[in-house]
Amino acid sequence: MVEIVMEINKKLFELYEKETKRLLEKNTFPDNIDGTNLMYCWENDYLKSKYKMLFIGREPNGWMGDLNLDVNDCIDRYKEFELCENGKYTTFWQYVYETKNLLMPETIGQKNFLWTNVSKFSKAVEGTAIDYDDFKFFCENFDVLEREIEITNPDVIIFFTDNSWDEKIQRQIKDKIKFSKVDNEIDNSELARISAKPFPFHTYRVAHPITLQTQKKWNYMERIIENIKSHLVD
């Protein structure tokens, strides 16, 4: 039996420490910022999953309560959150768990997936989107998204961001992103498979779950799930 080497958390920690040190060298930061949203992986469940899945939202919202650049504090916050197991399931998390459980019903109750955001920072005022200039500042001085994907090596990535965040995703990916249709009847501005060097074959961008629910477009998620099941790439 091949032994599973569990080094994801070690590599993530080293990445976060390196980038935090680089960010701290700036000395001054944008005002009224909340963060940092850093990942922790329940490696035993994740590495044994049929599909290693990474769900990516836009930005954290009221995550740390203030700007916190202590890596241990931020990772502890992620661990304590337990992928929303200790919180109220918002629409976002309802869609995450519904998707994950439909693909892997045998893993219900397991923390066998990952979640992060395109932006690791948000405005300190909940519900207020980060300014684009502030977003660029943190992208330039805390560059982690592409390395997070390389380290965690997911089989499936779903960006719940809608197309208004495409440029923000591209800003953090060196390779040019391509957007392809998933369904001939759905414009790729609403649902797309996105490809670039760090992404697995099954990488999709769709609207935020609140929008999907409001517009009654759960069928977009069904189309993603069908595509994953019918085009499994080993």
Helix, coil or strand: residue 54: strand
pTM of structure: 0.95
Is residue 110 pLDDT above 90, yes or no?
yes
> What is the per-residue pLDDT for 86?
65
> Hey, how many other C-beta atoms are within 10 angstroms of the C-beta on 87?
11
Q: Return the CATH architecture of domain 8-230.
A: 3-Layer(aba) Sandwich (3.40)
Is residue 2 pLDDT above 60, yes or no?
no
More confident residue, 129 or 184: 184
More confident residue, 86 or 147: 147
How many Å apart are CA 111 and CA 100, to the nearest integer?
10
- Region 98-112: mean pLDDT is 95
> What is the per-residue pLDDT for 77?
97
- Identify the H or E element spanning 179: strand 178-181
Q: What distance lies between CA 120 and its chain's CA centroid?
A: 10
Kindly indicate the confidence band of residue 126, based on its pLDDT and cuts at 50, 70 and 90: confident
- Region 155-160: mean pLDDT is 98
Kindly indicate the confidence band of residue 25, based on its pLDDT and cuts at 50, 70 and 90: very high
More confident residue, 173 or 85: 173
> What is the per-residue pLDDT for 127?
72
% of the chain surpassing 90 pLDDT = 89
Kindly indicate the confidence band of residue 1, based on its pLDDT and cuts at 50, 70 and 90: very low
> For the chain, where are the alpha helices, taking DSSP H only?
8-24, 43-47, 71-81, 91-103, 132-141, 145-152, 166-170, 209-214, 218-230
Read off the DSSP letter of residue 35. B
Kindly indicate the confidence band of residue 162, based on its pLDDT and cuts at 50, 70 and 90: very high
Domains of the chain, by residue range, sit at: 8-230
The torsion defined by the Cα of 230, 162, 155 and 184, in degrees rounded to 10, comes to 20
